[in-house]
Chain A
């Protein structure tokens, strides 16, 4: 039981303590790394407990169930929690090694980690919103981190406004859920929503979809995304795309598959269309860009489309694909954004691993993401969907190869006067690339955990289906 709260408590207290100190000093940065490392270790231990004993649950304040706020860890939550904290840890390590440039950076990253840990481990709808805001507010501040803050501030304002609008629409959906079901506990709400009046539940579902679509950067809600990702420093871009975007994927899975399965099925066709447009739009835009970070930003929009399509296919195979793809995609994006800012020997190798992983070439982890997606496409028995997935994959291979060529093969890019980056940073990205390859060679833990999460969601969907 203590294990469920400890990772959250450690990182939250650490964030508050470090806020008092100047983050540019080296020991503060390393203290933040230590705190976040403890958080990741705690979450990993909790993950081991969850796979052995099943769902862990706790009600705060010794209140009876249904009165206090529920904290709960199941396979779906823990997989995203570990992933997001690990990405944050790598990004923080990168920035500490490169030299932190603002006094608040380490503490902000820890606050975001606290928000994300809480968000993935809460079983309460309103508490979800609170942690959601706790992780978004550091993101608004981090988006102007680094040099040339003056140029980024306009994009940051739009980023903040659009995402806040999404948050409040989500809050209205929470209010609607409470009105319809009279509970905020996710599992009880899921049961009661199944019997509620379909029209009102559909409205709630639309609100939830808009909120997480904005977060994930799906096609019609994506316009804030490219300027932010292009302007951000490598570490911040990795944080936003590798850790924060997980909220969108997790939210769609948790709310769509576990809470609103009937509405998900009803809207499946629309979701497939939106997802497909996202895939094609992201790929086309990425193809036409030359700047590495711009290509990666548009690629993120396309990859979000895959997750949505997998979710819409539904059933065990679809949810499994969505989870695996979300995990692999966030690792890829963290690796690529961190590598994109570096120059020197072996950086190209790390980048190529990430690029292959996005394109789904074995032996990278991305291969299994693509395989899972194709399985979902086969299960749907739709030729059009399979063709789309294939075209999307081929396009991603083309644009990744294009920027690889552009960034690392041009003689002036590799030798053009720029100093090679510090060896530690290159080592870090190589290590991350090693992890991506390792998950491609030995994917069993990832697949087992995702399988558990998919069973959970598919079970929920099966139970409440009429």
Chain B
């Protein structure tokens, strides 16, 4: 039995804002199934009560004074924009009747 179906891959792709062709979805489903099969080996370990390690080094979040500092000027920030207008990035309409969001 496969661990991940093509339909599930398509659902995940939507969450990740990727659109896959049918062939791509098939290939990805097969690859992910192999990888997920391999990582099942972690289930053999008893981790009850073990703290997860999100960051390797024991560091507190560093704070700094809330003071104004120079930052990237708008024209430099916009220089790589595919489309801009004034000091804004231009994008197509956000809503188009329906969006499953």
Chains A and B are bound partners: no
